[in-house]
Every structure is written in structure tokens, then in C-alpha cells.
Chain A
Amino acid sequence: MWVTCLQENLSKGLSTVGRAVAARATLPVTQNVLIRTENSRLLLTATNLEIAIATWIGAQVEHEGAVTVPARMLTEWVNSLPNDKVEIELLKEQRGIKMKCKNFTATFNGTDAEEFPPIPTVKGGVTVHIPADQLRGALQRVVFAAATDDSRPVLTGVKVDLSESEFALAAADGFRLATEKGTLKEPVSAEVGVIVPARTMAEVVRLIGDQTADVEFSINGQRSQVLFKLDNAEISTQLVQGTFPDYEKLIPTSHGTRVKLNLLHFQQASKAASIFARDGSGIIRLIVTPGDKGASGTVKIQARAEELGDNESTVEAHVEGEASKVAFNSRFLTDVLNAVQGDSIMIEMATPSSPGVFRAPKHPGYTHVVMPMFVQWP
């Protein structure tokens, strides 16, 4: 016998590292998961050479050893087992494993652990701690704005800036920008900015889960790798190289109109409008009218589908400044409304062709900028 562990733990561990397994591998061993004993625990590691995820599960270790086996096959088989004790035996010359769980047995042929690509260590740079819920929330509100096509590779990443006691995340896809600032547990030793692939950030959000302890975030000395240390897993990734746009410059500093709306009502109205927008040009128009003498104003939310029909909803709003109108891509509007929480949302705008700035009182560090559409106004 080599190792004994619980099916539940093994299954959870494999699912944690599963996202890092290469889908189409130029290097076949990256479709395997590395299993290694470490201080009477079992370390599972997977990598697609861009991102690597490692996790530990409790186990009874009889002797040290390591092996790699096909990740998908192992994961699916383990998931089909009853929740019981799993016994793992190491095959001769560490060429695979034999597993037994109740009356299920299986043999997995694998390769020597030496063939597994080394996971780069992240050292000699900067390390900070961020409260888990703060990081998760900020990432959830920022990551979706990153670009999905790679015509500008830097935009497929999330910019992370650290300075003094503050962290700032930003993502932009050329048409909109989402950014959030938060506080670090302790001041950072040096000012630093890196671009982390948005895909990695999505994994970080997933693996933080309900974690309450702080997340340790380290950048290596060459500024080429970062490592997120979570409660039970470590995610390391290569950074996107390049210069991220100076996004602070893209956030308008002045506005002629500021509207505060009930978030739920605004979400309902946009959802209704997006039904028409979807079959039409995909545009939602907002018409802001200030109230008379201190009374509250309104925002009309309109969308039209050519030849099919149109709709309009009116949402009461607290309007500061002049009457205004602006049109947005319905997808961009819906995305930002779904990303924020709380009772209300604020929009700042100037002219129909200048960017709209979304802020949410519940997330004081959050700013979302969306370029409006050029449309003809009646």
C-alpha cells in the first residue's frame, strides 16, 4: 500500500485542480495530474503550462512517492465511487497506480513524476495579503469586462496595481472599463503593477469560494509569475506581458448629470428592454428627466426592434443636474447591472457621446465606464 484517503476528499481535490488540466495538449503529460506525497498529505497538481493549480488532501501515507496519471479518466472514475476509503498502490517503477475502493478496483497507467513540467516557484518579489471576500467581490465585478478576443492581448488580462496599502483591479475590452480599489492588510514593500490573465482570475474567484482567511498574493522578482495562496489550494500563473492602457485617464472627471436609481427597478426595466433590443439593434436608450422643484426625476428606458415593436419603462430616479440622454449596448448595460449589489446604482453622464460612469454605493471603490452608442435621437 502507498496511500489511503477518503473518496470525498480525493474527488474534491481532483475537481479543484481539474481546470488547470490541459484540454488539447502539445505536451501529453499536461493532461495528467501529478500525485505526490508531502508531509503525510497528498499533493495534487495540474498545469496547462500557463496556469498551475495545486491542492492538498488529507491521507494516510505509508511511504513517499510520486506519479502522474491521466486526469480526466481518474477524476471521472473517482466521482463514480461510493464515499468510502480509497486505497492507492504505486505500480512498479512508478509507472501508474492501482486503486481500490470497496469492491471497485482500477489500474491507471501513467508516467514517472519526473516527466511532469516543474511548477515555477514565485519568490524574491512582493507578497501581500487581501481579505478573501474583498478580493472575490472585486474580481466578480471586474473580470467580466476583460476582452475575450486576443486582438490586443493585454486586454485579456486583469491589471493588478499595488501601492502602499491599496490594491486596484482593472479590466477593459476596448468599449468598457471596470475597476475597483480596495485595501491591503499591510502596506506593500514596493509599488508594482502586473497583468494577470482573466481566465486565472476566474479560477481564483471559483476557488476562494467561502474562504474567510486572507488570500496571499505574491509576485516573483522578474515580474513574470504570480501565486495566489488560498486555504487549500495554490494557483500560479504566467503574467500577460505588455502595457495596460492608463485607465485612470479614461474615467471622466466631470459630469453634467448624476442619476441615482433603485437597482432592482433598473434591472427589471433593462431586462424588459433587452428583449426588444435583442431582436433589434441591441441598443437600450436612457432618457433622464430631472424632477420639478425638488421632486424626484425619472429615467425612461427604451428599446426598439425594427418592424417588430418597441418598449419603454419609466423608473423613478434622483436626478442631479440637467436632463440628459444616452444609449448603451444592451449587453454592456445588463452586465454592469448584474455585477453590482445593494439597493441603488448611480450613473454619471455628460453628453450623449461621452462615456457613462456607473458607481454603486455598496461598493465604494468600484467604477464602471461604458462607451455609449452613436445613435440618432429624435
Chain B
Amino acid sequence: MSIRRLSEATASRIAAGEVIERPASVVKELVENSLDAGATRIDIEVRDGGMRLISITDNGTGIRPDEIALAFERFATSKIADDSELTGIRTLGFRGEALPSVASVAHVEAVSRVPIRDSGVRIVLNYGRVVIQEPAAAPPGTTVRVSDIFRNVPARLKFLSSPGTELARIQHLASILALVYPHVAFRLASDGAVRLTSPGGGDRLAAIAAVYGSKAAQAMLAVEGDSTAAFSVSGLAGSPELARGNRTYITLSVNGRWVQSRRLQFAVEQAYLGFLPERRYPVAVLDVRAPFEDIDVNVHPAKAEVRFLREDIVFAEIQRAIRRTLTEGAHVRPLRAPSANPGIGGKAHHQDDGAARRSATTNAVPGDPATTPEQRLFATEATWPIRGQPLLSPASGPTQQTPTTGPAVHPASEIGHPLSSQTGGAPAGKPIPQRQVLPVLRVVGQAQETYILCEGPDGVYLIDQHAAHERVLYEDIKRRSAARSVESQPLLEPEAFDLGPAHASFIESHLETLSTLGFVVEPFGPKTALVRAIPKLLVDRGHGGGKAGEWLLRLIDESAERGRTDSWQDRLLYTMACHASVRAGQKLTNDECRELIRQLEQVEQPHTCPHGRPTMLHLNSGHLEREFGRR
């Protein structure tokens, strides 16, 4: 077979394949056009999961009649003039590929009117070929109707999933768009039924309420970046008890452009380290602001990826912003009502994702008097503002309240502490990360040889003795290792352990770090190392040091595993803290309980153990009174 040049139609269909993969990609491309056109309202309508019809209507600037045919040609765009502008792209689209790509694989009808003109224009394309172009009456803005997608590309049609799955993808996309572009009112309807509406108006929290439900919105904490810095992160981060089972609840944008960046997601997860249990992921909607010339968005055909010139700065900023928010706003998780989750122990705060989705589809308006009593039970006492601007606006008063589901738990964080309300002012007024303080707790006793029951100013606390002690020891060792004062207890006889090739180089390059953690290790030939000393802390808890080598090997193997968000040093610290702390089932005297609580009061993050499990549950007075029918 000789080499031939492909026909225009084939070439454009292949090119379209890169951009338009499935109905959801059509939605994405068209909505981005609408957003670039300055729309504040975007209606998405689909039939059969978008396989039969996708219709996008916006109230944007529209397309001029003399330009509409050109818009459907490849590499025709209004967004950039030449390649020099590629380095500072501010619009969502720029390649001029979206419309022609869509048009080459579907039957497309577009109606558009520029607001200042009296009449609009209608164009109909049949798989890339213009069949009708005529003046038409139309409201200001553009409507694009895409039907019978991939009818001319059987190969792709075959790979589409069921209409239900395709719809789920579109719905996920629409939710993300609603979260990332809160100033736009989105509406998604499928086969006549409304699946999602967002209020628009720029309130991100209202968008979250629309997408994830009002309960989720109430558990969001505001992340406020320094608007004067070159790199900043702002948005909303879910408090730890809002943890979900997968990563899809992390929504990220860069300069307002939605991105799917595994790296940025990782940075967010890492910021939650120690706040969430393993394999639980946060809910977060965050926008990273970075200089335009620092970003390359022209990496991925669907523009889903983004590259940063100075990735480490972005990383650090994400971590800093979220961690600050979490430590300031983190709070004791309140017990759920028995009706919602009988039994005090167990996974008290597993959110029902399904319920959140259901309430999203029914467009639950937060603060709505129609919210069920159960929802209200866990709302903040002082319902915090959802509509309007107070949360994200720079200055709404001297004591802007952090959203918290248990406001009375942190008197210190509320009484006149000007959290981060001054970001609108001079760049100097950065809030100092505040150590969260436990209220004064009086030990009542030990229950089930596992929990310490305490009484506080606002109700009753149940504290998991192992988790609490683990937290105390973890911070203690961490502080000592930072101060290089972890005491090492030398072994009578060094313990030799065998190394694999990966281990040997790891051990050799980390001898110094290991010794600051209390492990004195020395290489002994190519395949062996000697443990000469182990942390005294472990010895004090009756550990004989016989397993030190084994521990190290396991940690090294784990750190080679991908997808871990914590460093091996941290894991070594956890392991040490875990092994040295009191166990569940260990009887503690009242004095020991008191001492443990006293130590817990001193730590930085008393509410979770280093693995992220909660250390305490709070049953507040109001809740108790309601449960006993006193109120």
C-alpha cells in the first residue's frame, strides 16, 4: 500500500477524536466556549446520556452572522491572534478546535445573536458540512444543539457506555463546572428531568450546597489565600469529618480553569495528612492563582492537565493554606443522632454520599426551612451565612466566624480572634496559625478499658485512650526529633539485618535522619546493616529491640510504594508512637487518665491520632438535652 495524504474529512475526524471522546467532552468544550463568551447562565440539556442530543444554551456575547461559518473551521478562534499569546492564555479555549471537532462527528445546529443586533443567525452542519446558514430570530447568546454524535464514527460509537453511565459523566462534569464557576448559574436537564441547578452569583458555598448538599456546605471551611502574593490558594476545604471514600470530591482550578491534576490533588491529600484516616479523602473546591506566564495549559488535547513552571511553590502554598485552615477550624466531631447512626462507637461520621447526591439533584437550598429535623440537629447553632458574601468577602466584621459544627468547643478560637478577616487589608496582617485548644476536661472514668469519659464545659467527651496517647507520643517524638533530642538506647549486641539492593542505598543515604529518630544504624557489608541503638522511648515501653530491623525494612518497602502521601519518617514516627502507646483494653487508673488528658491538652492537634482516626467524640449538652427530651 502506498502512502497517501488523508482526506480533509478523515484528518479532521482523527483530530476530533483527541478532543471529543464521548458526550461529556462535547459538553465540556461547548460550556467552555459559553464561559469564554462571558455567559452567566448556562443550560445543558441532554437526551439518552447525550447520545441522542446535547443542547447548550448560554446568555453570552454570541457570534456575528458573518463569522459563524468560520467558527466551525479548524484553527479558527477569536481568542488568540498568534502563537506569542499562547504563553499567557486567560481564556478556556484558544486552539479553535472545539466547534469543528464537534461538528465533524455529529449533526450540529447553532443559533446565535449578538445582543446589540436585532436578529441572529442559524447554521446547520451535517458531520462537518454546512447545509443551512440563514438569518433567524433568537434570544441574545448562543444555543448549540449536537445530535446523533459519532454516527459517522462507528468505532467510537461502539466504545460509548450505556446512556446512564454517559449521563453520570456529564452530571459529574456539570457539578464540577458549577463548583469551579460559581458566578454562572448552571442547569442540567436530562430527558426532561432537572438533575442539577446552581444559583450562580459567585457564591462558591451556595454552589457546594447545590452540588453536594447543604450538610456538606455547612462543614466547609474557608481557605483564604493572600491575594497580594503571586501564588495563592483560595476556596473551600471540607472539615475532616466530611471525608469521602474517593478522590472525586477534590475539585481544583488554576486561575479559574478547571484542571485534573494528579499532582495538585496529591498536594491537597497531603495537606489533610493526619486529619483523615487512611483511604479517606477530603471534599475541597480550590482555586490556585498563579501568574499566567507560569502556566502551560497547552499540554493535553482536552486541556485537562496543566504544567507549572514553579510547581514546588504551588505545592507548598496549597499545603500551607489548607493546613492553616484545618488547624484553625478543626474541631471535635460531634456525635451523630442515634437515629442517623445508632451506637456511639464505630464509624460515627461516615457521610452518605448517595444522600448528598440525591439532595444535590433536588436542589436543596441551604438554610431552607424545609430541611429535615435531622439535618437541623447537626447544623451549627448559629447557622452560618450561605447566601450573600460574608464567608469569602474580605471583611465582614472583626470576628469573622470559622464554620464549625461544634462552635462551643473552641471558645478560644471564637472569642475575638480575628482569624483571617483582614486579608483584604495590607499584606502584613497574616494570621498566626493558632494552636487549637481543648476545653478543660474533667475525667469521669474509664469505660471498657478503652475510652476515657470526660466532662467539659459543653457536654461529655469520649476519648479513645490509644488514639489519644498515640497523638501525644507522636508529637513528642516529632518535636524531639526536630530538636535532635530523641534519646537512643544502645543495644547490648547490635542486631544485624539483611538488606535487599533497594534497602542498602536507602539506609546509606538516610543514616543521619535515622539517628535523629533514635535509630543508630550502620552498614555492615553490602547486604547487611547493624542496628546499634533504638529510641529509648520504645525501650521504656518494654520493647526489646528485636524487631527494629524488620520495621525499618517494612518502612523502606512501603516508601517505594506509589501513591503514599506521607513520608517514611512520618510513618516511622507513627509506628513508634503506636507501639509505645497504651493499648485498648489496658486498665488505667484515674491518675493515669488525668495525666493523659493533661498531655492531650498540650498537643498541637488533639482531635485526631497520627493516622487520622478521631481521638474523641463529643456529645454536646444541647444534644443531650434534646435526646432526653429536656428541651
Contact = CB atoms under 8 A, between A and B. Distances in A.
Contact of B491 (A174, A282, A331): A174
Interface in A319-337: 329, 331
Interface in A150-181: 151-152, 155, 172-177
Contact of B544 (A147, A177, A250, A283): A147
Contact of A371 (B490, B543, B544): B490
B492 A282 contact: no
Contact of B487 (A148, A174, A175, A373): A373
A371 B488 contact: no
A356 to B, nearest CB: 12
A375 B485 CA distance: 9
Interface in A275-298: 281-283
Nearest to B537: A282
Contact of A329 (B491, B493, B539): B539
B169 interface: no
A173 B534 CA distance: 13
B542 interface: yes
A70 interface: no
B575 interface: no
B477 to A, nearest CB: 12
Contacts, number: 69
B582 to A, nearest CB: 15
Interface residues of A, number: 27
A377 to B, nearest CB: 14
Contacts of A329: 489, 536, 539-540
A374 B515 CA distance: 11
A245 B493 CA distance: 9
A79 B493 CA distance: 48
A250 B490 contact: no
A64 B437 CA distance: 72
B546 A155 contact: yes
Interface string A237-268: 00000000100001000000000000000000
A374 B547 CA distance: 21
Contacts of B520: 374
Given A175-B539, A281-B536, A329-B536, A373 B488 contact: yes
User: How big is chain B's contact interface, by range?
Assistant: 10 to 19
B60 interface: no
Nearest to A353: B490
A372 B487 CA distance: 11
B490 A331 contact: no
A373 B543 CA distance: 16
Given A175-B539, A250-B493, A282-B540, A374 B488 contact: yes
A282 B487 contact: yes
A172 B488 CA distance: 18
Interface in B508-546: 520, 533, 536, 539-540, 542-546
A277 B149 CA distance: 77
A179 to B, nearest CB: 12
Interface in B545-585: 545-547
B540 A175 contact: no
B546 A374 contact: no
Contacts of B546: 147, 149, 151-152, 155, 174
Interface of B: 485, 487-493, 520, 533, 536, 539-540, 542-547
Interface of A: 147-149, 151-152, 155, 172-177, 245, 250, 281-283, 329, 331, 353, 355, 369, 371-375
5 contacts: A147-B546, A174-B493, A176-B492, A281-B487, A329-B489
